[in-house]
């Protein structure tokens, strides 16, 4: 500090002299200093404005790319749904059309049988003998008291009564036969009604499928035209799927962690304990490999079942090869599940042996567990070791969903960050503008004494540093 003083023996005089020198120097350097601050402000403000425009332009491009991706995803989903509905309709119609000849034959048989029964029921009932005309003619005969005539009339009356009774009995018998025939027609009517119900059910299912297809096609048209509401709905749906898939994957990772800890200890008895790979014990690496193999087998199983589509080339394989790969994947999962179950049993034995060894080293007798309670942890761990691989195999579904919807999330986050960067750049440009303006005022405040002297003497026009008008013009520029 003393080296900067002009007179080290008199610090006050040195500081005063330095202050006067700085006042003079800064007064004469006022215009260049103001220009320098203006140029710095213009440079920084321009750079920040360019950065803001770039961020804004990139945000627009990223948003447009996100929109295109959402529309393509929406089109793909709707096309898949429409294809599934057409496949369902094709299967339903193929099934129903395959049954159509038999159905048509049954309907024809039922109609023929009903028609024959109807024709048989339509035959005229037997009429009573024509005794009424004969009796009326005989009744008109004048009574003459002849016994023969009376006897004849009595015989005619008896014959008429007998004929009427016989006609009534025949009519009742014929009516009973008709009722029996009509009763036999009931199964045919029921069969015909059942066939009609089946036809109605098939037609109703087809109509419902066509209604769903109409709804899908209406949504497809909106997506193809780029309707804003539909785009927002698709974006929100993608966000929901991403959040759900992340949650499911988090649960699956927890299950993988439990699975890993379940087999890590017994794996140390199966592999060399002293070997390490990348600083990790071989048993840990082996347990991790088993868990990853379960996930890989699950991915291939889901791929062959048609649930996921990670590998498009596998979809082009023949059905026989797909079944072969599916069999290998399921067989591998079964084998790994059995291995984990056996390792879980071995783990419990190792834990019991370790506890017994620690107790013996501590000089205590090891407690003997009862048979009923000692098998419960073993069975539980074995069942857990067998079930966890099958649960981990289904992680392929949320993984594919997360990957397919993650692009929308990433682009949305990038667009948001770019908009934030543009806003911060514009804000920084305004801050730099006013900060440098404040720096000019601070500079003038520091040299306020020379400026006031210049103002009082009125020598501003001849000032070496330039006129105040020039400064104002420069400031306005």
| In the predicted structure, residue 464 carries a pLDDT above the cut 80 | no
3-state class (DSSP) for residue 366: coil
More confident residue, 460 or 22: 22
Helix (H) or strand (E) holding 277: strand 276-277
State the pLDDT at residue 247. Answer: 93
More confident residue, 140 or 78: 78
More confident residue, 168 or 454: 454
| 130-134, 368-372, 454-458, range with the lowest pLDDT | 368-372
| 114-118, 227-231, 422-426, range with the lowest pLDDT | 114-118
| In the predicted structure, residue 429 carries a pLDDT above the cut 70 | yes
- What mean pLDDT is predicted for residues 403-411? 88
Cβ distance 343 to 378 under 8 Å? no
Q: Which two tokens stand for residue 166?
A: 């016989």
Q: What is the pLDDT of residues 343-385, one digit of tens each?
A: 877 776 776 666 666 667 666 554 544 444 457 777 877 888 8
Q: How far apart are CA 37 and CA 29, in angstroms?
A: 12
Q: What is the pLDDT of residues 70-101, one digit of tens each?
A: 888 887 777 777 777 777 776 666 666 666 66
- Give 220's pLDDT tier (boundaries 50, 70, 90): confident
| In the predicted structure, residue 195 carries a pLDDT above the cut 80 | no
Residues 57-84: b if buried by 16+ CB within 10 A, e if exposed: ebbeebbeebbebbbebbeebbeebbee
Q: How far apart are CA 412 and CA 414, in angstroms?
A: 5
Closest by CA to 333, choosing from 270, 386, 403, is 386
Answer yes or no: pTM beyond 0.75.
Answer: no
Q: Which two tokens stand for residue 407?
A: 């692009």
Q: How far apart are CA 259 and CA 281, in angstroms?
A: 17
State the pLDDT at residue 331. Answer: 92
* Dihedral (CA of 333, 244, 73, 224) sign: positive
Cβ distance 283 to 267 under 8 Å? yes
Cβ distance 135 to 160 under 8 Å? yes
Q: How far apart are CA 406 and CA 412, in angstroms?
A: 10
State the pLDDT at residue 7. Answer: 64
At 93, phi and psi to the nearest 5? Answer: -70, -35
| In the predicted structure, residue 167 carries a pLDDT above the cut 80 | no
* Dihedral (CA of 17, 18, 21, 27) sign: negative
Strand partners, 233: none
What's the Rg (C-alpha) of the chain? 52
Count the residues in the chain: 477
Query: Would you call 425 exposed, middle or buried from its count of C-beta atoms within 10 A (0-12, 13-18, 19+)?
Result: buried
Q: Which two tokens stand for residue 317?
A: 């394989």
| In the predicted structure, residue 329 carries a pLDDT above the cut 60 | yes
- What mean pLDDT is predicted for residues 307-324? 84
Long-range contacts, 227-236 (Cβ 8 Å, 24+)? 230/74, 231/67, 231/70, 231/71, 231/74, 234/70, 234/71, 234/73, 234/74, 235/66, 235/70, 235/408, 235/412
3-state class (DSSP) for residue 140: coil
């Amino acid at each position: 500090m003393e080296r900067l003083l002009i007179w080290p023996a008199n610090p006050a005089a040195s500081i005063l002299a330095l202050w006067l020198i700085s006042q003079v120097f800064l007064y004469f350097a006022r215009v260049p200093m103001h220009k320098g601050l203006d140029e710095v402000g213009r440079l920084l403000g321009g750079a920040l404005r360019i950065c803001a425009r770039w961020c804004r332009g990139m945000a627009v491009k990223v948003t447009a790319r996100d929109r295109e991706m959402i529309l393509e995803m929406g089109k793909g989903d709707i096309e898949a749904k429409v294809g599934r509905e057409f496949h369902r309709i094709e299967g339903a119609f193929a099934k129903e059309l395959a049954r159509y000849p038999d159905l048509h034959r049954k309907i024809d048989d039922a109609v023929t049988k009903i028609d024959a029964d109807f024709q048989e029921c339509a035959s005229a009932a037997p009429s009573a003998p024509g005794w009424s005309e004969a009796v009326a003619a005989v009744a008109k005969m004048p009574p003459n008291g002849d016994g023969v005539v009376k006897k004849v009339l009595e015989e005619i009356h008896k014959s008429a009564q007998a004929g009427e009774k016989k006609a009534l009995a025949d009519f009742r018998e014929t009516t009973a036969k008709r009722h029996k025939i009509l009763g036999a027609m009931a199964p045919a009517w029921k069969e015909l009604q059942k066939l009609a119900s089946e036809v109605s059910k098939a037609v109703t299912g087809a109509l419902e499928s066509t209604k769903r297809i109409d709804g899908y096609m209406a949504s497809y048209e909106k997506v193809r035209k780029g309707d804003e509401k539909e785009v927002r709905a698709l974006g929100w749906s993608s966000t929901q799927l991403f959040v759900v898939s992340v949650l499911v994957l988090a649960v699956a990772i927890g299950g993988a962690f439990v699975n890993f800890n379940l087999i890590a200890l017994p794996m140390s008895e199966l592999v060399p304990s002293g070997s390490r790979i990348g600083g990790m014990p071989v048993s840990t690496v082996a347990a991790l490999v088993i868990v990853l193999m379960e996930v890989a087998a699950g991915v291939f199983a889901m791929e062959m079942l048609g649930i996921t589509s990670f590998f498009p080339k596998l979809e082009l394989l023949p059905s026989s090869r797909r079944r072969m790969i599916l069999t290998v994947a399921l067989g591998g999962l079964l084998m790994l599940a059995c291995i984990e179950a056996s390792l879980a049993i071995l783990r419990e034995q190792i834990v019991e042996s370790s506890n017994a060894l620690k107790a013996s080293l501590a000089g205590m007798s090891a407690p003997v567990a009862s048979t009923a309670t000692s098998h419960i942890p073993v069975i539980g761990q074995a069942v857990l070791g067998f079930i966890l691989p099958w649960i981990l195999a289904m992680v392929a579904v949320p993984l594919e969903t997360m990957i397919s919807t993650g692009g929308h999330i990433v682009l949305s986050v990038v667009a948001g960050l770019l908009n934030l960067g543009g806003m911060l750049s514009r804000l920084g440009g305004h801050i730099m503008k006013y900060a440098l303006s404040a720096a000019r005022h601070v500079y003038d405040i520091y040299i306020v004494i020379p400026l006031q002297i210049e103002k009082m003497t009125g020598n501003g026009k001849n000032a070496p540093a330039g006129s105040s008008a020039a400064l104002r013009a420069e400031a306005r520029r």
